[in-house]
């Protein structure tokens, strides 16, 4: 929200009226249940002087705003913070975000979870990205946000996921947990069942959201801290035909030592992770294609567990079979609670 200015000519009745009027005008169209007022008095005032104004001036302004806005001040549960800065003669507003918890499923490949910023210009816009700043037109975040934003009369939203899958990986099974943060909403009471239906109708075949509900900000930390095992279905192209015996021998649990994959080295530290992986099903699709169901500990890079990543992941499916293996398609099919 843009700050609004005022003219300061002393702490008097006119100032209260002027502030109340400008603040009320700026907040027109915003829905909020509680607000709080904070004043930053002029720097040259003594601490005693500031303390006195805080006790005398601030409550008068708060009372006048309660009347004018028809909303009670609530310091422990404020949807809007009104910050009056007497050094700048400006009033700033902080509108509390809204947080919506839910799970999403992703039925298509090539769809990233969040906006994919152009790596050449880092979002500023350049010839490479057609001056858009982003490399993908769509993301799970955008497909959800574009329906939520108009209902909350907001401009921006951010998706916080409980981890993320690669953009070419489908997210099936129970779906992935997320919190959608609506930034600076004007409307706060929206029927989330309606929103859920709207998204699922318009984005059918691409994504689906489940169990939307309001939550607190702390939920983001909670879901980001979860380290659930996942079950993947991997379609693997092999360098030569694999026999049924060889497939059967794959069915076991492995302690995998995995160095950070080469493809993410520019973003992640080069460390060795030790993760468990269990092959629970192995099927032949055609002469050189197999399908594996793999249960893996959170954080294991599955594509590299398949290919071996030039010896950086040990053991790997390629190493176990003694041939070249490449993960052609990957789906998350279950998340173990
Ligand atoms: Zn660019």
Question: How far apart are the CA of 78 and the centre of ligand 1, in A?
Answer: 39
Which one, of 73, 108, 103, lies nearest residue 331 by Cα?
108
Degrees, nearest 5: CA angle 290-316-264: 105
CB 279 within 8 A of CB 293: yes
Helix ranges, the chain (H): 13-26, 47-69, 140-152, 192-202, 218-224, 244-250, 302-307, 317-321
pLDDT digits (tens, 9 = 90+) for 305-315: 999 999 999 99
In this prediction, residue 82 carries a pLDDT of 97
Please give the pLDDT value at position 278.
Answer: 98
Residue 136's pLDDT is 72
Query: What was the pLDDT predicted at 90?
Result: 97
Q: How far is the CA of 124 from the centre of ligand 1 (A)?
A: 6
pLDDT for position 120: 87
Cβ-based burial of 107 (10 A; exposed 0-12, middle 13-18, buried ≥19): middle
- Torsion angle defined by CA atoms of residues 336, 203, 165 and 181, in that order, rounded to the nearest 10 degrees: -90
φ and ψ at 169, to 5 degrees? -100, 135
The residue annotated as part of the active site, out of 47, 89, 166, 168, is 166
The Å distance, Cα 331 to ligand 1 centre, comes to 30
CATH architecture, domain defined by 98-224:
2-Layer Sandwich (3.30)
What is the 168 CA–ligand 1 centroid distance (Å)? 21
- Would you state the pLDDT for residue 184? 96
The class level of CATH for 230-335 reads alpha beta
In Å, what is the CA distance from 16 to each residue of 19, 52, 63, 64, 82?
A: 5, 16, 10, 8, 14
Write down the pTM of the prediction: 0.89
Residue 166 a catalytic site member? yes
| Residue 8 · residue 86 · CB < 8 Å | yes
Taking only the tens of pLDDT, the chain with its 337 residues reads 899 999 999 899 999 999 999 999 999 999 999 999 999 999 999 999 999 999 999 999 999 999 999 999 999 999 999 999 999 999 999 999 999 999 999 999 999 999 878 888 888 889 988 888 887 778 999 999 999 999 999 999 999 999 999 999 999 999 999 999 999 999 999 999 999 999 999 999 999 999 999 999 999 999 998 889 999 999 999 999 999 999 999 999 999 999 999 999 988 899 999 999 999 999 999 999 999 999 999 999 999 999 999 999 999 999 999 999 999 999 999 999 8
Domains 4-95 and 230-335 belong to one CATH topology:
no
Domain parsing of the chain, residue ranges: 4-95, 98-224, 230-335
Helix then strand then coil, in percent of the chain rounded to 5, is 25, 35, 40
Residue 126 alpha carbon to ligand 1 centre in Å: 4
How many A from CA of 117 to the centre of ligand 1? Answer: 8
The CA distance from 18 to 6, in Å, is 7
**Ligand 1 mean position to 138 CA, how many Å?**
16
Determine the topology of domain 4-95 in CATH.
THUMP fold (3.30.2300)
- Whole-number Å distance, alpha carbon 157 to ligand 1 midpoint, is 22
Residue-wise pLDDT for 242-285, tens only, equals: 999 999 999 999 999 999 999 999 888 999 999 999 999 999 99
The whole-angstrom separation of Cα 300 and Cα 304 is: 9
Secondary structure letter of residue 235 according to DSSP: E
């Amino acid at each position: 929200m843009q700050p609004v200015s005022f003219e300061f000519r002393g702490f008097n009745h006119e100032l209260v009226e002027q502030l109340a009027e400008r603040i009320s005008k700026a907040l027109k169209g915003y829905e909020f249940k509680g607000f709080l007022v904070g004043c930053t008095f002029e720097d040259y005032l003594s601490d005693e002087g500031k303390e006195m104004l805080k006790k005398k001036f601030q409550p008068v302004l708060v009372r006048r705003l309660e009347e004018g806005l028809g909303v009670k001040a609530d310091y422990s549960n404020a949807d809007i913070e009104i910050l009056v800065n007497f050094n700048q003669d400006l009033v700033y507003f902080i509108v509390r975000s809204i947080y919506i918890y839910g799970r999403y499923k992703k039925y298509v490949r090539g769809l990233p979870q969040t906006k994919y910023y152009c790596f050449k210009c880092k979002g500023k816009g350049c010839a490479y990205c057609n001056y858009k700043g982003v490399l993908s037109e769509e993301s799970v975040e955008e497909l959800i946000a574009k329906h939520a934003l108009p209902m909350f009369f907001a401009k921006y939203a951010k998706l916080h996921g409980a981890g993320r899958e690669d953009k070419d990986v489908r997210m099936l099974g129970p779906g992935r947990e997320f919190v959608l943060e609506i930034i600076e909403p004007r409307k706060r009471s929206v029927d989330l069942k309606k929103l859920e239906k709207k998204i699922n109708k318009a984005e059918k075949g691409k994504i689906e959201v489940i169990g939307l509900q309001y939550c607190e900000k702390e939920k983001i930390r909670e879901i980001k801290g979860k380290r659930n095992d996942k079950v993947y279905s991997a379609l693997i192209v092999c360098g030569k035909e694999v026999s049924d015996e060889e497939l059967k021998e794959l069915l076991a649990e492995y302690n995998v030592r995995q160095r950070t994959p080469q493809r993410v080295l520019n973003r992640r530290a080069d460390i060795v992770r030790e993760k468990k992986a269990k092959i629970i099903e192995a099927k032949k699709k055609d002469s050189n294609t197999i399908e594996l169901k793999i249960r893996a500990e959170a954080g294991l890079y599955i594509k590299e567990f398949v290919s071996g990543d030039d010896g950086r992941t040990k053991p790997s499916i390629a190493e176990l079979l003694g041939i070249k293996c490449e993960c052609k398609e990957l789906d998350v099919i279950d998340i173990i609670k």
